Structure 1
Amino acid sequence: MNLTILLSFLFVTVVAALASIYATRKKQQQTPVGFYLGNRSLGFWMIGSSMFLTNMSANQFIGENEFVYTTNMSVMAWGMSSVLAMLIVAEFLMPVYLKIGAVTTPDFLAKRFDVQTQRIVSVIFLLGYLVNLIPSVLYGCAVAINGIFRVDEWLGISYFSAIRLIVLIVGIVGCLYNVLGGLRAITITDVVQGIGMLIGASLIVWYGFRYLGDGSIRQGVETLTFSHREHLNAIGGPGDVLPFGTLFTGMLLINIYYWGMEQYIVQEALASKNLKESQKGIALAAVGKLFAPLLLNVPGLIAVHLYPGLDNTATVFPRLVSDILPPVFIGLVAAVVFGGALSTFNAGLNSTGTLFTMNLFRPWLERKGRPADEHRLLRSGKTLQIGVTIAAIVFSPYIMYFDGGFYNYLQKVSSFFSVPVFTIMVVGLLTRKVPPLAAKIGITFFATVYTATQFLFDTGFHYLHVLAILFLVTTALMLLIGRLKPMARAFALPQQPVLNNPPWKNRFGYYILLLVLMVSIFILFSPAGIA
C-alpha cells in the first residue's frame, strides 16, 4: 500500500472529525431533540451540505459509474430529475412539516390519519433501512475502498474477505461516530467533506481527461466526445434500462418521496432554524446535484475508453481513481468516498434511532404506564443503532451475489418501501375526509400487488411505469373509500409554533435558474448535444 495515499486519506478524515468535535464541544445533546435534530439549530449551509453528501454515498460512486460503463448516461436522470423533486419538496412539503413541528416525516400521518398508520409507516422505514440502505452503504464503501487501496492484494486475502473486513471497520467507525456525536456532529463533518468532494470531482475530471489524451486535456475531451458516443446519451430509449419516459412516471414519484418523505434525508431539513433556512438548504443541495455527474458519471465514460471488457464492472470507479490520480489526491478521493459513506450510514442510523424512539418505543412506554424519560429514550435508540449496525455488517458483503448488479439491487429493493408510503402521504396532503382505513388498505394493496408484479408475473411494463400505474390505482381506491366512508370531521392542519416559518423571499428566481440548468444538462447529453 502506498504510504502517501494512506497519509492523505488519514489527514482529510481526521480534519473532518476534528472540525466536528470542535464545533459540537459545547452543544448539549442529552435530549432526543438535541441528539436527533441538533436542537433545531441548523443553517442552510449545514442542511444543504448534509442532504447532498448523505445522498452522495459510495453506492452512487460505484453504482452509477458502473451503469454508465455498461450502458449509457441515462442513469443521470435519477440525479438531474431530482432537482425538480427537491424544489417541489421545498415549496410544498417543508412548510407542512415545520408548521406541525414534525420530528419524523410519519408524524404528519399521525395527525392526518391516526397513530396506527404512523407506526405502520415507521416500521416500513425501519425495514427499508435495515434491508436496503445501511447494508448497501457499507458494501458500496467497501468496494470503493478496496479498489483504491487494493486491500485484498496488500493482505493476500480473497476479494470477499477484504470486503467483509472493510465493512466491519466502516460499520464500527460509523456507529461510534453516530452514537457519540448525534446529528449536529454528522452535519458539520458533511460541510468539510462536501468541500473535499467538489475538489475531488474537479481533480478526477482534470486528470482523467489528461490520462485519456496522453497528457492533453483537449485530446482527452475529443476522445470522450467522438468515440463510443452511444454511452453519452442520457435520453434512454424504449429498450434501455431506464427509458426517458420513466422520468415522468415512477422516477418522479420516487424522487419526490426520497427528498421529501425519506426520513434519513429529510431529517436535516427538519432540524433547520426556520423555513427560510430549510428552503435555502434544499436549493443548495440541488446545486450539488447539478455538479454530481462529474463524480458519478464522467469517470464511467472515461473508463469506457480505458478498460474495455472489465470482468468486475463494479470496480470501474475505484480502478480509474487509482490509475489516473497522483497518490496524494487518491487519498483525498478515498477520504471523500469514505466520508460520503459515513454520512449516509450515519444518517440512516440516526433516522433509525429517531423513528424507533419517538414513534414506537416512547408510545409503547406510555401505554404501559412506564416512565419515558429522555435518558431512557436516548439509551434505547442507541442500543437499537448498535444492533442494526451488527446486522448490516453481517449481511452486506453478500450483496455482491445479487443477480442483476449492485445498482439494480438498490433501485429494485428501495421501490418496495418508497412509493406505497408516498401514495398515502400525497392522498393525506391533498384530501380532507379520506379515513385512516383507506391509508391502511392502500399501503397493503400497493405493496402486495407490486411484489406480485416483480416476482410472480411479468406485466411487460418497466417497473417504474408499474409503480406509477399502481400509484394511480391505489389513489383511486383510497378516494373511493373516502367517498363511501368519509371521516366525520374534515381534517384541518394543526399548527404548533415550534419554529418561525416565513418562506425564503427570493426563492422563485433561484428555482427557475436551477430548472433551466437541469434541462440544459439533459440537452448536453442528448442527440441534440454531444451524443
Structure 2
Amino acid sequence: MDLEPLQIFVFIAITAIIAGATIWYCRGARHSENGEQEYFLAGGSLKWYFVAGSITLTNLSTDQLVGMNGNQMALLAWWELAAVVGLFILCFVFIPVYYKYNCTTTTELLEKRFGNPHIRALISTLFLLGNVFIFLPAILYGGSQFMISMFGLSTSPVNVPGFGAIDPMIFVFSIVFATIGAAYAIFGGLRAVAVSDTFSGVLLLSLALVVTIIALKAINFDFSGIPKERLTLIGSPSSDIPFSTLFTGMLFIQIFYWSTNQTITQRAMASPSVKEAQKGILAAAGIRLLIVPPIIVLPGIVAYKLYGRVENDMAYGQLVGDLLPGFLSGAFAAAILAAILTTFNSILNASAALWVCDIHETYVDKKPKVKRLSLWVSIVMVVMSLILVPFFATQDSLINTVQTLYGLLSMPILSAFIVGVLFKNVDARAMIISVIFGVLFYFWMLNPLATDASLATQRVGLHYIHLMAINLFTMVGLCLALNRLVFRKRAQWDAHTVFGKTADA
C-alpha cells in the first residue's frame, strides 16, 4: 500500500485527539502531595476502568500483534489464554498482599519480608535489565516493522557491524516512537500513562477486531488448505509451545508476568482500594479471554493462506495494508502507534520507579528530586534500548526471542517472591546466591551463544519453557538448603501471615 494524504491526516488527527484527551483529563484529576506516590502510583486514584485499560494495553503491543501474528499459527494463543490464570492470581493472591504491606514497587515486598534492602535491589536490577535490554527494544522494532510493511516504506538495507543488513527505516521509526513515548512517561507520570493507555486501548481493540473480521471475510471464513499444524492448539514436542509446557513453565511465566512484574502490577497498586483494583484486574482478564486471542493469531493464519509463509514478522502489516481502506489504515496506524507508545512509556515509568525507589534511595540519596531523577534515568534507558534495536531486527521470530531471553530473569525473580511470601526466617544472602545461580544455570541450559541455532537447549534436551520450571524449583530448593546448611536458619512456613487479614478492601 502506498502512503496517501488521507491516511496521514487520519493518523495525525487520532494521535492528537488521544494526546489532547489525556492532557485534559490529567489536568482535572486530584493530585497527591506525595511526589513519589503521585508520579509512580498516580496518587492512588486510578479507577477500575483505567486499571483495566492500562493493564490491557501495557501488555498488548507490537510484540503480540506483530510478533504473534508473524508466527502465523493458532498455537501462540496459549500465551494469552494462560494469561487469564496469571491475572486471577494477581487479583486474589498478590494485590491484597501489596496493599497490606503498603508497597510502592512489587520489590518493596521482598525487602519487608526478608528484612534486607539488597535482595530488593537485586531483583529490581533484574527487572531493569529485562526492560532495557529486551522489552523496550523489542517494542520499538516490532512497531517499526509493522509501519514499514503496512505502508511499503522499505528502503535499501545498510550493513550494521555485528548485526548484518538492516532497513534504515527501522531506526527512523524507532527514534520517533522512543521520543514520543518517553515524553508521556517523563512529563506525565503514571497518571498520564494509564489514561492514555485506556483511551488508546478502546481504539486498538476495536480496530484489531475489525481487521480480524475483514481478514476472515477475505478468505470467506474458509481455512481449507492451511496446514493442520498451523490451526491446532495441541502443540507437538517440536512446536513453539509443546502441549506439556502448559503444565510446567507456562503457569509460572504467567504468575511472574502478571503478579510480580512492576510494569503490570503498578497499575493495580495505584487504585484507592483493593476492591477497586480487583474490579479492574477482572475486567482486564475478561478482555484477555474474549478479545485478545483471536486478534493475535487469526490475521496471521489468514495471511498464511493469502501469501504463504511471510518472513521477518511482516505478515500482520502486509495484511492490514492490503485489506483496509485508506481511512481505516490511517486509523489503525494511529492505534498501533498508541500501542507502541503506551507499552513503551509504561515500561519506562515502571523502570524509573524501580531505579528511584529500590536502588537510588537505598544507595545514593534517600530523598531525591523524583521527577528530575526519573527524567535522566529515562533518557539513559531510551538510548540503551535504541542501541539494541538491531539485535531484534535480525531475529527469526520476535515473540519467541523475547520469551526465551526473558527466562534468564523471570524465574530467578519469581523464586524470590515464592520464598519471600511463603516462608519466614530465610537469610536474604541465601536467596541472593540462589537468584544469581538461577540466572547462570538457565543460561547454561539454554546455550544461547551456540553458533548453530539448532543447538539451543541441547545441553538438557528440553523446551525452554520446561527449563524455566526446572530452574525455578532448583532455585527455591537451593535457597532453603543454603539457609539451613550454610546460614544455620530453619525456614518456617508463613503463608498464613502474608495471606491473612489484608488492607482495606
Question: Of the candidates 374, 392, 402, which is equivalent to residue 381 of structure 1?
Answer: 374
Deviation at 1:333, TM superposition (A): 1.5
Q: Any residues of structure 2 matched to 1:114-263 within 5 Å, and which?
A: 114-152=116-154, 160-212=167-219, 220-221=220-221, 223-224=222-223, 227-263=226-262
CA–CA distance in structure 2, aligned partners of residues 360 and 352 of structure 1: 11
Equivalent residue number for residue 462 of structure 1: 463
Match of 1:52 in 2: 56
Secondary structure in structure 2 of the residue aligned to 1:302: helix
Report if aligned partners of 1:167, 1:397 keep a CA contact under 8 Å in 2: no
Write the letter of the residue equivalent to 1:332: A
The alpha-carbon distance between structure 1 residues 500 and 483, as it changes in their structure 2 partners (threshold 3 A), is closer
State whether structure 2 residue 384 is matched by structure 1 residue 391.
Answer: yes
2:267 aligned partner: 268
How far 1:225 sits from its partner (Å)? 5.6
Structure 1 segment 311-390 matched on structure 2, within 5 A: 312-366=311-365, 372-373=367-368, 376-390=369-383
CA contact under 8 A between 1:139 and 1:167: conserved in structure 2? Answer: yes
Q: Distance in 1 between matches of 2:471 and 2:413?
A: 12
Contact 1:357/1:378 (<8 A) preserved: no
Instruction: Tell me how far apart the structure 2 counterparts of residues 89 and 177 of structure 1 sit (CA, whole Å).
Output: 26
Instruction: Give 3-state SS (helix, strand or coil) of 1:238's partner.
Output: coil
SS of equivalent to 2:67:
helix
Q: What SS class does the counterpart of residue 367 from structure 2 fall into?
A: coil
Query: Deviations 1:262-289 (Å, cap 9, x if unpaired)?
Result: 1111111111111111111111111121
Cα distance in structure 1, aligned partners of 2:6 and 2:242: 44
Q: Which letter does structure 2 place at the counterpart of 1:377?
A: V
- Say which SS state the counterpart of residue 385 (structure 1) adopts: helix
Please name the residue that 1:8 is paired with.
Answer: 10
3-state SS of 2:403 partner: helix
Q: Which residue of the partner structure matches residue 524 of structure 1? A: none
Cα RMSD after superposing both structures: 2.2
Distance 1:490 1:453 in 2: 31
Q: Indicate the SS of the match to 2:167.
A: helix
Give distance in 1, aligned partners of 2:497 and 2:339: 37
For the structure 1 residues 449 and 285, does the alpha-carbon distance in structure 2 shift closer, same or farther, using more than 3 Å as the test? same
Shift of 1:313: 3.9
- Post-superposition Cα deviations, 1:90-144, rounded to whole Å, max 9, x if no partner, equal 1111111111110111101101111110011111111111110111111111111
From 38, 46, 67, the equivalent of 1:63 is 67
Q: Percent identity?
A: 28
More displaced, 483-492 or 286-295?
A: 483-492
Contact 1:264 1:351 in 2 (8 A): yes
- Equivalent residues in 2 for 1:507-518 (5 A)? none
Residues 160 and 397 in structure 1, CA contact (< 8 A), matched pair in contact too: no
3-state secondary structure, aligned to 2:438 = helix
Matched, 1:501 2:496: no
**2:483, 2:491 within 8 Å by CA — same for their partners in 1?**
no
Query: What is the alpha-carbon distance in structure 2 between the residues aligned to residue 331 and residue 293 of structure 1?
Result: 24
Q: Following the alignment from structure 1 to structure 2, what is the Cα–Cα distance between the partners of residues 333 and 249?
A: 37
Is residue 484–residue 490 contact of structure 2 (8 Å, CA) maintained in 1?
no
Question: Whole-Å Cα distance in 2 between the matches of residues 142 and 93 of structure 1?
Answer: 35
| Count of residues in correspondence between the two structures | 479
Please list the CA deviations of residues 191-242 of structure 1 after superposition, one character each: whole Å capped at 9, or x if unmatched.
1111112211221122112222xxxxxxx11x22674343111111222121
Instruction: Give SS of 2:105's match.
Output: coil
Deviates most, 391-400 or 107-116: 391-400
- Give the letter aligned to residue 319 of structure 1: Q
Partners of 2:285 and 2:118 lie apart in 1 by 34
Could you tell me how far apart the structure 2 residues matched to 1:232 and 1:477 are? 41
Contact 2:212 2:298 in 1 (8 A): yes
List gaps (5 residues or longer) in structure 1.
213-219, 503-531
The residue type equivalent to 1:16 in the other structure is I
Instruction: Assess, with a 3 A threshold, how the Cα gap between structure 1 residues 242 and 157 changes in structure 2: closer, same or farther.
Output: closer
Change (3 A) 1:283 1:225: farther
Q: What one-letter code is carried by the residue in structure 1 that aligns with 2:475? A: T
Aligned match of 1:400 in 393, 396, 406? 393
Q: Give distance in 2, aligned partners of 1:494 and 1:295.
A: 38
* CA distance in 1 between partners of 2:88 and 2:493 (Å): 29
Verify the 8 A CA contact 2:426 2:491 in the aligned structure 1. Answer: no
Alignment partner of 1:25: what SS? helix
Q: 1:486 aligned to 2:489?
A: yes
Aligned residue identity for 2:415: T
Relative to 1, partners in 2 of residues 1:244 and 1:380: Cα closer, same or farther, differing over 3 Å? Answer: same
1:58, 1:338 within 8 Å by CA — same for their partners in 2?
A: no
